[in-house]
Amino acid sequence: MSTNQTTLNGHFQIEGDTVGRTEQDIDPVIRFYHRCDDDLKKIGYRTFAISYPKEYVTIGRVPRKPFDIGKLNLQIIYPRENRDMKFFD
């Protein structure tokens, strides 16, 4: 639905809209692709996903309830973390 990059200090804000979708079609998840604390010889990006509650999904174009994901430590390995080879530097 949307993509974004972090600022130099690691902050990000992302919004998507639900135009053309119903609430039942949406599985709210944020997927992260990163190279933090990674061996530069490895190809691709580390990737993991975090689901969030459907109560933060607003039908329409304007979000009504923001979800604060808080701080994430990207040095650790997250459950079901993988390496995605589709993205290269």
**Mean pLDDT along residues 12-41:** 83
Residue 58 confidence (pLDDT): 80
Going by C-beta distance under 8 Å and a sequence separation of 6 or more, which residues neighbour residue 28?
Answer: 51, 52, 53, 54, 56, 57
Q: What confidence category does residue 76 fall into, taking pLDDT thresholds of 50, 70 and 90? A: very high
In the predicted structure, residue 88 carries a pLDDT above the cut 60: no
Cα separation, 2 vs 18, whole angstroms? 11
Q: What is the pTM of this model?
A: 0.79
DSSP H/E element including 32: strand 29-34
